[in-house]
Amino acid sequence: MAIIDTHAHIYSEKFEKDEAEMISRAKKTGLEAVFLPNIDLKSVEGMMRLAKSYPNFCYPLMGLHPCSVKEDYPQVLQQMKALFAKHKFYGVGETGLDYHWELTFKAEQQEALREQIQWAIEFQLPLILHTRKSFDDTYNIVSEYKCDALRGIFHCFDGSATDAQKVIEMGFYIGIGGVVTFKNSNLNETIAATPLNKILIETDSPYLCPEPYRGKRNEPANTKYVVKKIAEIKGVNIEEVEATTTAAAKLIYGIV
C-alpha cells in the first residue's frame, strides 16, 4: 500500500544536508507523493526546484501563509497569482488565518484569505487552510464563498467532532498529522466520529513530529506513525487507513 503526505515543507533549509536521503526514506516507507504548500515569495524557488527534481512525487501548491502577510500583501499576491500562468500547481495555499503569535495584520490576513479563496474557485483547485486559534473566523469567511467549485483541506485540524462535521458538510477534508499521536491530543473523539474517507494524512514537516520522536525534525517518512494511530482510534487495520486516505488525497488534489 501507499501513503500520501498531503502537507509538508520539505523545501525548508532544515533538509539541505540530507534532502536525497530524506526523500529515499519516504519512498522506502511506502510514500507515493508529497504535496508542498508555499509560504511566501522567498520559498517559491526552493519549492519549485524540489518539484522539478522529484517529478510525480513532489507536487507544488501556491499561496501566501497567514504568518507571512504584511503591509505589502497585495503586491505579493499579485506576483503569486501571475505564477499560475507559468507553472502547474495542485492547490492554493497554504492560506488561512493565524491568531497565535500576534494580531497586527489580522484584517490583512482576512483579506488575503478572501483573495486566495477566489483563486481556488477561479482555477478550480483545492484550498489549503491554516487555522491556528482561528477556526471560527476561517470557517465563517470560507462559508461566504460556498459553492460547488470550492473544496479543500483544513490542514493540521485540531477541532471538535462538531467542527469536523461542519468542515465536511462544506465539502472540505481534515488534515491530520503528528499531533494525533501526542499524549495530550484532543483528537481521539474527532477522529472516531469522522468518516475515514474525509481524513487526510500529513506531516507539516519539518514541524510537529509525531511520537515517538516528538520534538525532533519531522519528515514525510513519519506518516506511518500517524496512520498507525488513526487505525488504532478507528479500530481498523493500517492497510484500510492507507488505502482510504490515499484515495481521498488523490481525489482532492486531482492526481491518479
**Inter-residue contact 3 to 31 (CB < 8 Å):** yes
Residue 256: per-residue pLDDT: 79
**Inter-residue contact 253 to 59 (CB < 8 Å):** yes
* pLDDT tens profile 33-87: 999 999 999 999 999 999 999 999 999 999 999 999 999 999 999 999 999 999 9
CA distance 101 to 110: 15
**Inter-residue contact 233 to 227 (CB < 8 Å):** no
Question: Which stretches of 73-121 are assigned E, i.e. beta strand?
Answer: 92-98
Give the mean pLDDT of 95-113: 96
What would the grid cell of residue 147 be? 459553492
In the three-class reduction of DSSP (H, G, I as helix; E, B as strand; rest coil), residue 97 is classed as: strand
CA distance 154 to 133: 13
Work out how many domains the chain is built from and give that number.
1
Q: Which domain holds residue 55?
A: 3-253
**Please, what is the Cα angle at 181 between 14 and 225, to 5 degrees?**
65
* pTM beyond 0.95, yes or no: yes
Residue 219: per-residue pLDDT: 98
* pLDDT tens profile 161-214: 999 999 999 999 999 999 999 999 999 999 999 999 999 999 999 999 999 999
Confidence of residue 1 (pLDDT cuts 50, 70, 90): low
CA distance 41 to 77: 9
Residue 101: per-residue pLDDT: 87
Give the mean pLDDT of 9-25: 97
What would the grid cell of residue 107 be? 484584517
Give the CA dihedral 28, 206, 32, 155, nearest 10 degrees. Answer: 150
Flag whether pLDDT at 102 surpasses 90: no
Residue 46: per-residue pLDDT: 98
CATH code where residue 90 lies: 3.20.20.140
Return phi, psi of residue 140, to 5°: -65, -40
Per the prediction, the chain carries an average pLDDT of 97
* CA distances from residue 72 to 61, 64, 68, 69 in whole angstroms, order as listed: 21, 12, 10, 8
Give the mean pLDDT of 213-233: 97
Instruction: Please name the amino acid found at residue 208.
Output: L
Give the mean pLDDT of 211-224: 97
* pLDDT tens profile 21-34: 999 999 999 999 99
CA distance 149 to 240: 29
What would the grid cell of residue 141 be? 469567511
Q: Which residue has the cell 478507528?
A: 234
CA distance 98 to 91: 19
Q: Euclidean distance between the first and final Cα of the chain, in Å?
A: 15
Give the mean pLDDT of 220-234: 98
